[in-house]
Structure 1
Amino acid sequence: MTEESIDWIARAGRRAKGRRPDTLHDYNAERTLSILLAVAAEVSVLKERLDTVERLLDTKGTISRADIEAYQPAGEAAYERAVATKEYVARIMRGMQQEMEAMQAAPERPMAEISAELRDS
């Protein structure tokens, strides 16, 4: 199978095996999260591709599509790209990270207090 013979639209529309995740217990929230994560992944790919174009232009002055497809970052370029990706993901997940930190900083409540609150609500 060659790159040209792959039907990317059909492949993208394939269903995963098993049930869809239900971690948020809300279909619309799950769907929105799925879409946002897919867009974030696409932006990440675009950022790496742009980095490739910029690095090739810096070193060669001109590039071809073949140059872009064949580029493999190494050494400092690979390190810089990994740091940039890590920072990008951290920015996307910042809200969740802040919530986790707030939960960890909150004092633990006694189980009896939590139980009484649940019973009375």
Structure 2
Amino acid sequence: MTEGIDWIARSGARAKGRRPAFFDEPALDRLYSLTLALASELSATRERLDTVERLLETGGTLRREDIEAYAPDRAAGEERGESTRAYIARIMRGFQQEVEAMENPDPPIMDWVEKLSTP
């Protein structure tokens, strides 16, 4: 952990200016902000767990210093990157589907009826 930073005090700090709003309902913005913050924390935990597992596989023991000093090699970094991309894709799936729906709205039902009834 970074020495000298009071993370509890920092968490209560306010950003300058107005908070950006993406939805009509402010509670939704807060909910999504909270969800993404939790997802970020879980992602960091997943990387740390990967470090612990790799260190145990190679050395059989653990020391906090080893965990803090660990730097993945290229293969491990690529594995982690792929795992993180898949994790983010799962989390953002609902958002992505909404964006796709806005870009490609379903045609009116009568268009479908006409397409299905025309040989």
Report the TM-score range of the alignment, normalised by the length of the smaller protein.
0.7 to 0.9
Partners of 1:21 and 1:84 lie apart in 2 by: 30
Structure-to-structure mapping, 1:1-121, within 5 angstroms = 3-106=2-105
The TM-score normalised by the length of structure 1 is 0.80
1:102, distance to aligned residue in structure 2 (A): 3.0
Specify the SS of the correspondent of 2:33: helix
- The answer for unaligned runs of 5 or more in structure 1 is 110-121
Identical amino acids, percent of aligned pairs: 55
Inter-CA distance 95–3: structure 2 relative to 1 (3 Å threshold): closer
Once the two structures are superposed, what CA deviation does each residue of 1:57-107 show, in whole Å capped at 9, x if it has no partner?
Answer: 111111100001011112110000000100000000111112222333336
- The answer for unaligned runs of 5 or more in structure 2 is 109-119
CA RMSD of aligned residues (A): 2.0
Equivalence for 1:112: none
